[in-house]
Structure 1
Amino acid sequence: MNKNKVSKKNTYIIGVFTLVSIISCVIFRISLFYGFFSSIVLSLSILLKGGFTIEQLLYMIKNSLVECKDLFILILLIGATVPIWFSAGVIPTMMYYGFVYMQGVNLLFMVFIFTSIVSVFMGSAFAVISTVGIAILGVGKVFGIPDYILLGAIVSGAFLADKISPISGLMNLTLITTKTSYRNALSSMSRTLLPGYFFSGAVYFYLGKGYNLVLNSSDLVIMELVLKKSFYISPALLLLPVCMFILCFLGIKIIRAISLVLISGVVIAVTTQKVSLTNIFWSILAGYKGNTELEELNSILLCGGITSIVEILLIIIGAITLSSLFRGTGLIAPLVDRIIARVKSKREMVFKTSIISSILTLICDQSVGVILPGELLKNKYRELGIDNATLARTISDTGIIIAPLIPWNVNSLFILMLTGVSATTYAPYAVLCYALPLITVLSGCIEGLRKLPNSQ
């Protein structure tokens, strides 16, 4: 297939129009689907005039959508799992014990530490947010912490999975693309991760002090009694998320792990909570709504079902389609080559790698933000005498970690589907996700300055 048939002018037109249309949707609160759809139409018309055939373009789109079939299945499974976890009493049980044991602690700080540890073992930010993250948000509402602040801490901890977990798909994609061992990559990543992690922890500890409140004892007792009256509450129900944790840690694919947990959740809902299969099926489709005698509790026991994620799926399909056109037609590679053509120092290389990886994640997705810089920059890194572990670290600290901050990215759309909170509100509090890019650029500059005399 011939590539690079589109002029530089038309390449910039496509890029600028895409960014403007997407940002306009965010500003005017219009569905992102319309932004992606208009960009796809413009891109197809320009690419067809540039010499590509409709068959070639449709083939690119079809291949990308087929490659992402696991993502679509995962979204549907999680859309079904969360209502079932409510019906089975798993999340109410987490909330019950949260009310009992989380009083008087710095909840925001503890949430960041806890989710970051869990994420490394589960290997999936999606899995962390859709399980313990949902329960934590329920507890946080009762303790008066705004959901967007608490979600920022959850996102910061959860997305460590994509960055450093040995069972993360993105982590392994980074290692394979940059031809780096896990040990070397982790050693290099620790130079930026440790200061970024401690800085983020300090911020959450400071912010958390403002919400370190103890509930009125009578209100707390009422909530606990209503939960126990409305659900069968037992520590045994917590084995469901524990099993999912163990399955992910053992390397079981996330789709298979969630499917097993989903089936188990249905069985538990029927046997322990006495919920009919009809009600379970309806909650999967339309979402779960609490039906306790306490309205304050019912406002927390809420989640959407599969019908609530249809728009999100359409947006994700639009994002993947546009990304496949950018990648398949070779629109991106020449831009990357021009950016790095005159780079002569390590600090400049690290900085431009950060820019390239971030932009690719911004306009495409994380996988493109990993694969293209990894493949296109390896020779330049070798030419400058920079080890591949630095390339892996830079990609991980930028293209991977910033994804949940981008409102139209698949990750932030997934979070919106689960929580109803948009990236524009929680992003300022996802401290680690923007602390790491800043630290890695500064680190590259410092290392470059240290080596500068030797290179002259």
Structure 2
Amino acid sequence: MQDSNHSNPIAPWQAMTMLALGIAIIFFGLMTLKVNARIVLAVDGAIMCLMACAFGIKYDEIQKGIKDTIASMLIAMLILLAVGVLIGTWMASGTIPVMVYYGMQVITPALFLPVACILCTLMSTLAGTSWGTLATVGVACMGVGEGLGIPLEAAAGAVCVGAFFGDKISPLSDSPVITATVTDTPLMEGIKHSLISTGPAYLVSLVFFFVYGLEFSGGSTAESATYVEILSTIEKSFNLNPVTLIPVFVVIGLIAWKKPTIPTFVAGIAVAAAIGMVFQDVSLKNMMNYMYSGFSIHTDSTFVDKMLNRGGFTSMLSTIGLLMTAAIFGAPLRTAGVATVLLDYVQKFAKNSRVMAFSVMCLHT
């Protein structure tokens, strides 16, 4: 088996050397030097490029591999940027604050965790994206959880379980579609098998969230003070008009009509921006600044400020930088055919499916 990007694959010892050194550099940079992961990956990528060239891979092929890898991530990057802008406008328009405000009044602490998990599941299944769910409904649920005195770790767990489970079983999601295409399996058949493996874990999580959530059915004095502080601050800072929830229904409606993700988010951004300028008295200039650098508000409550001041185009640049440096690191390995060479080597001594499965698992780890 031969990598399509290179006509003369490197030797097994060369592939193992590149992989081992690449992993060692990542651990050294992150665990010992405690350097930012993006710089570690960028430096590691440069070293992998030098090693690939030393092992006979042409630099033009490596450069093309980096370009192709980044190009394959372009849609994901655009979605991330749209999500950042979406959060900024939904904050400025009052959409998320209103969701937090009414959510804190409707959802009881005891039922918050299972309800948040189910809401994120529905949103992620309809949107086909865990990122979009985490950034919209997930953000709102975290705000509600903070106000209800729910530990942030537990709230984040409920949000992530729902968002990622919904993404894995959504026919609109990239990962099930790509998996079905690569394995030549009908999409719904693949989703059915995903349910078999992940469904029980999801049900166990819901039961756990319900049982664990019962501990918060009372609520302490400190939690009650925080609860009142959030409600009163949001009430003073925003026009709590139900109209501000229109962007949510616009996004859900377009998702239900199976419209593409990016235009759907753009529509949600446009509607939220218009509502923010009309109902929250935000100027066009400030709204565009919120789109770029994120929503910013200064109230009497630092707790509320921390909860609401987020989003914007720039908030996603760090994540996009991580994706790009990961591409710089991974492209030389892919171009040199490291994974292909190692898999070929594994096939030679793998006597049964168990050995093969264990070997592949080790390579992925």
Provide TM-score, normalisation by structure 1: 0.72
Q: How big is the shift at 1:258?
A: 0.8
Higher mean displacement: 52-61 or 279-288: 279-288
Measured at CA, do residues 104 and 204 of structure 1 come closer, stay the same or move farther in structure 2, by a change above 3 Å? closer
Measured at CA, do residues 72 and 218 of structure 1 come closer, stay the same or move farther in structure 2, by a change above 3 Å? closer
- Mapped pair 1:253 → 2:260: yes
Aligned counterpart, 2:21 = 17
- In 1: Cα distance, 2:203 partner to 2:358 partner: 23
Percent identity reads 22
Number of equivalenced pairs: 358
- Mapped pair 1:184 → 2:173: no
Check whether the contact 2:18–2:48 (CA below 8 A) recurs between aligned residues: yes
Aligned partner of 1:99 among 93, 101, 104: 104
Per-residue deviation, residues 181-212 of structure 1 (Å, max 9, x unmatched): 13332333333223211222233233333334
Measured at CA, do residues 276 and 317 of structure 1 come closer, stay the same or move farther in structure 2, by a change above 3 Å? same
Measured at CA, do residues 159 and 218 of structure 1 come closer, stay the same or move farther in structure 2, by a change above 3 Å? closer
Q: How does 1:349-364 map to 2 (within 5 A)?
A: 359=364
| RMSD value, Cα | 2.5
Higher mean displacement: 322-331 or 335-344: 335-344
- In 2: Cα distance, 1:322 partner to 1:274 partner: 46
Where 1:242 maps in the other structure, the secondary structure is helix
- In 2: Cα distance, 1:3 partner to 1:127 partner: 40
Q: How big is the shift at 1:84?
A: 1.0
Aligned counterpart, 2:76 = 71
Aligned counterpart, 1:204 = 209
- In 2: Cα distance, 1:186 partner to 1:345 partner: 27
Where 1:51 maps in the other structure, the secondary structure is coil
- In 2: Cα distance, 1:30 partner to 1:276 partner: 40
Check whether the contact 1:119–1:125 (CA below 8 A) recurs between aligned residues: yes
- In 2: Cα distance, 1:24 partner to 1:238 partner: 47
**Matched letter for residue 335 of structure 1:** L
Q: How big is the shift at 1:50?
A: 1.4
Provide TM-score, normalisation by structure 2: 0.88
Where relative contact order (Cα < 8 A, 6+ residues apart) is larger, the structure is 2
Check whether the contact 2:6–2:337 (CA below 8 A) recurs between aligned residues: no
Q: How big is the shift at 1:353?
A: 5.6
Q: How big is the shift at 1:25?
A: 4.1
**Matched letter for residue 313 of structure 1:** I
Check whether the contact 1:18–1:35 (CA below 8 A) recurs between aligned residues: no
Per-residue deviation, residues 249-296 of structure 1 (Å, max 9, x unmatched): 322111111111111111111111111122222223332223334343
Aligned partner of 1:111 among 108, 112, 116: 116
Aligned counterpart, 1:160 = 165
Per-residue deviation, residues 329-385 of structure 1 (Å, max 9, x unmatched): 2111122233355556566665556555xx1xx6xxxxxxxxxxxxxxxxxxxxxxx
Q: How does 1:407-426 map to 2 (within 5 A)?
A: none
Measured at CA, do residues 59 and 347 of structure 1 come closer, stay the same or move farther in structure 2, by a change above 3 Å? closer
Aligned counterpart, 2:321 = 314
Aligned counterpart, 1:82 = 87
**Matched letter for residue 188 of structure 2:** R
- In 2: Cα distance, 1:206 partner to 1:17 partner: 46
Q: How big is the shift at 1:308?
A: 3.8
Q: How does 1:324-403 map to 2 (within 5 A)?
A: 324-341=331-348, 343=350, 359=364
Higher mean displacement: 39-48 or 303-312: 303-312
Check whether the contact 1:83–1:305 (CA below 8 A) recurs between aligned residues: yes
Aligned counterpart, 1:276 = 283
Measured at CA, do residues 74 and 104 of structure 1 come closer, stay the same or move farther in structure 2, by a change above 3 Å? closer
- Mapped pair 1:8 → 2:15: no
Measured at CA, do residues 87 and 69 of structure 1 come closer, stay the same or move farther in structure 2, by a change above 3 Å? same
- In 1: Cα distance, 2:119 partner to 2:356 partner: 35
Q: How does 1:164-175 map to 2 (within 5 A)?
A: 164-175=169-180
- In 2: Cα distance, 1:230 partner to 1:86 partner: 11
Check whether the contact 2:170–2:191 (CA below 8 A) recurs between aligned residues: no
Q: Where does structure 2 lack aligned partners over 5 or more consecutive residues?
A: none
Q: How big is the shift at 1:117?
A: 2.4
**Matched letter for residue 326 of structure 2:** A
Where 2:291 maps in the other structure, the secondary structure is helix
Q: How big is the shift at 1:238?
A: 2.1
- Mapped pair 1:286 → 2:293: yes
